Amino acid sequence: MEGTTGSIGRRTFGMTNVQAIREQILAALPKSNIELVENDSPCGQHSLLVEAKDLLGVARFAKSPTGLGFDYCSNVTGVDVVDRIETSRRKEKRIVDGEETEIERVEETRIPGWLEVVYHLYSMRDRKGPLILRARTGDRLEDVALPSLTPVWRSCELQEREVYDLYGVVFTGHPDLRRLLMWDDFKDHPMRKDYVEPDDYDYEPTPHNAVLDRLQARKG
């Protein structure tokens, strides 16, 4: 059995194990779109990226005693992947002042970002894990919905609310989706990479100290 000793049980999953789990899921849910994501860091925690439309079905199979048997979700977290620009260079020939000249053309392509939710699953029965599932939204601004896995693992309830609060992922099917750490009227999502702190807050109508310094700096 490939893997290393983990804190919960005998072994964590190496690449061969995660590949085998992916194949097992696809055998049961052949229409699912699941991609193996390799982790080159020392922890070597490879994961499965599941398309949003397949997430709930994969989660149910992952928990089922007759499926994979991962009966406990220990952790749910969010990731903000911002838009990026990819630059490509190609050479082409042109006629300049009657002479053929080779020039370099630089092209930039905007790659839209997304929000990602990461679930760490364990089997308390079989003492194995973690199995890491990932799911991505369509983008960061408009298509930000993913199915809630709270109906599968109740331990996801507050953690999905935290991801909703701090990152802005909307979990469809969540039993009580509302902010967890910030107040109801708070605007934006503080863990987004492009989040900008306000100069003042509702609970601090008179700016002072660091808040006042920021306000004065912005006014120039």
pLDDT at 98: 75
Express each pLDDT in 74-102 by its tens digit: 999 999 999 988 888 888 777 777 777 88
Residue ranges, comma separated, of all CATH 3.30.460.80 domains in the chain are: 15-80+115-176
- Compute the average pLDDT of residues 23-49: 91
Share of the chain above pLDDT 70, in %: 89
- This prediction's pTM: 0.80
Confidence of residue 63 (pLDDT cuts 50, 70, 90): very high
Q: Domain 15-80+115-176 maps to which CATH number in 3.40.50.2000, 3.30.460.80, 3.40.50.12140, 1.10.490.10?
A: 3.30.460.80
DSSP per-residue string spanning the chain = ------SSSSB---HHHHHHHHHHHHHHSTT--EEEE---STT---EEEE-GGGHHHHHHHHH-TTTT---EEEEEEEEEE--EEEEEEEEEEEEETTEEEEEEEEEEEEE--EEEEEEEEEETTTTEEEEEEEEE-S-SSS--EEE--TTT-TTHHHHHHHHHHHH--EEET-TT---SSS-TT--S-TTSTT----SSBTTBSS--HHHHHHHHHHH-
